[in-house]
Amino acid sequence: MKAQAFPPAHPSTGSRDQASGIDRPPQGLLGASPAFERMVADIRMLARTDAPALIDGETGSGKELAARAIHYLGDRGSRPFVPVNCGAIPEALFESELFGHVRGAFTDARAPRTGLVCHADGGTLFLDEIDTLPPKGQVVLLRFLQDRRYRVLGQSQETVSGARILAASNRCLEHEATAGRFRSDLLYRLNILRLRVPPLRERSEDVPLLCRHFARSYAARYDLPCPEFVPQVLDRLQAHAWPGNVRELDSMVHRMVLQGVTALPAADDETPAQAASASGPQPSFRHAKAEAIASFERRYLCSVMAHTGGNVSAAARLAQTDRRALGRLLKKHGVDSKRYRSG
C-alpha cells in the first residue's frame, strides 16, 4: 500500500470574518448548526496539542475531514498528513507498512521501503478504521505508542518518530474492548483526547448549506445545470435520517446533477433518493422527447468523459461508437473534454 502525504497546498486553517468577528470553520468543513460549531471548537482545541486523539463518528460523517482540520490548524500544518485505512493492510504486512523495511528483511522484501511513520515524521499519521486492526497489529501499534521508538525491519538501530497519531473509528472502542476485540491498553494509549463527529441527523440545519455547496460544485465540475432546492424539499431533506450521513447526501446531489434533475418535487410520499430520480412534466410529447434525448446525450457524454478522464478515444471505445461521431456529439452539446483531464 502506497503512503500518501498531503502537503498543505490548501491548508484548513479557517479564518475570521472581519465584519462579525466570528471565526469561520476550517476549509473543507461546512456548517452553522450548534452541533457543528461545538465540533469545530473541539477541533481547534485538539489542534493546539500534539497528544494522540480518537475521532468517533458514524460512517460518512466526515472523520477524515475533521482529522485534516486538526492537522492543518496546528503547528504541524506545514508537514505531511498521511492517512491510512487499517482495514486495508494485511496483518502480516502491518509492521512493514508502519515502520518500513530494508531489502532482504523478509522473503518478499526485494527492495527497501519507507514506512508510514517516517512519511508522517513531524506531521500527522491518521489511522482510519482503527477498530479493524488485527491483534498482531494492535500489539505493534501499542509498543510504538509507548515511547515513539521503532525499528525498520532488518535494521538493529532504533528511530524516534515525531509523528502525531490520530485514530478514527465508527464503532465504540470501549464496547470492542469489552468484547475482547480491541486491546484495552491500546485504547488507553489512544484515548488521550477525543473528538465526536456528529451524524447529519443531529445537524440537520446544515443540510441546505451542504446541498447547495455540493450542487454548485458538481454542476461546475461537469458544466451542467445546478439543481434547485425549494423550501418544501429542504424541509423534507432536513427531516430525513440520512443513515449514510454527509456522504449519502453528497452522492444524492451528485446523482441529481448527472441525471439532469434541476428541481426536486415536493411530494411527501417520496424519499430523497426517489425524488432525486424524478423529473417534472413537459409541455408536449414532441418537446418532452427532444428534451429527454438531449438531456440523456449530455448526461451520458459527461459521465463517459468523467469515467475516462477526458480521453476521447477511450470514451469512444467505452461507448462503442466512432471517435468522430463522439466528437460531433461533444461539440453539439458543448462538452469540453479538457475539463475532465486531471493535472
Residue 30 DSSP one-character state: -
**Separation between Cα atoms, residue 170 and residue 186, nearest integer Å:** 17
8 A C-beta contact, residue 59 and residue 87: no
8 A C-beta contact, residue 254 and residue 210: no
Predicted confidence band of residue 38 (pLDDT cuts 50, 70, 90): very high
Condensed to tens digits (0 to 9), the pLDDT of residues 80-95 reads 999 999 988 888 788 8
The larger pLDDT score, comparing residue 282 to residue 174, is at 174
Predicted confidence band of residue 58 (pLDDT cuts 50, 70, 90): very high
For the chain, state the CA radius of gyration.
24
Predicted confidence band of residue 18 (pLDDT cuts 50, 70, 90): very low
Kindly state the average pLDDT of the residues 144-157. 84
Predicted pLDDT at 97: 86
Predicted pLDDT at 187: 97
Predicted confidence band of residue 334 (pLDDT cuts 50, 70, 90): confident
Condensed to tens digits (0 to 9), the pLDDT of residues 182-234 reads 999 999 999 999 999 999 999 999 999 999 999 999 999 998 889 888 888 88
Beta bridge partners of 124: 81, 164
**Separation between Cα atoms, residue 206 and residue 35, nearest integer Å:** 10
Percent composition of the chain: helix, strand, coil (DSSP 3-state, to 5): 50, 10, 40
* One-letter amino acid of 232: Q
Which residues, other chains included, contact 47 with Cβ-Cβ below 8 Å and sequence gap of 6+? 69, 70, 71, 73, 74
Indicate whether 341 pLDDT > 70: yes
pTM above 0.75, yes or no: no
Kindly state the average pLDDT of the residues 19-24. 45
Predicted confidence band of residue 2 (pLDDT cuts 50, 70, 90): very low
Predicted pLDDT at 342: 63
* One-letter amino acid of 147: D
Predicted pLDDT at 154: 76
Q: Which of 94-108, 129-143, 172-186 has the lowest mean pLDDT?
A: 94-108
Predicted pLDDT at 23: 55
Predicted pLDDT at 280: 44
DSSP of 251-297: HHHHHHHHHT--B----TT--HHHHTT-----S-HHHHHHHHHHHHH
> Which backbone phi and psi does 249 adopt, to 5 degrees?
-65, -45
Predicted pLDDT at 285: 63
* DSSP alpha helix (H) spans, the chain: 34-47, 63-73, 94-99, 116-119, 135-147, 173-178, 184-190, 207-222, 231-239, 245-259, 272-275, 285-307, 312-319, 323-332
**Separation between Cα atoms, residue 140 and residue 242, nearest integer Å:** 37
What grid cell was written down for 70? 486538526
Condensed to tens digits (0 to 9), the pLDDT of residues 254-311 reads 998 888 877 765 555 555 655 555 544 445 666 666 766 777 788 788 878 877 888 8
Indicate whether 61 pLDDT > 50: yes
Which is it for strands 193-196 and 100-101: parallel, antiparallel or unpaired?
unpaired
Which residues, other chains included, contact 115 with Cβ-Cβ below 8 Å and sequence gap of 6+? 3, 96, 97, 98, 99, 100, 101, 150, 152
Indicate whether 1 pLDDT > 60: no
* One-letter amino acid of 318: L
Predicted pLDDT at 28: 77
Q: Which of 5-14, 162-171, 246-255, 280-289 has the lowest mean pLDDT?
A: 5-14
Calculate the average pLDDT of the chain: 83
Domains in the chain (CATH in brackets) are 15-198 (3.40.50.300), 203-340 (1.10.8.60)
Condensed to tens digits (0 to 9), the pLDDT of residues 77-130 reads 999 999 999 988 888 788 888 988 777 556 676 777 788 999 999 999 999 999
* One-letter amino acid of 224: L
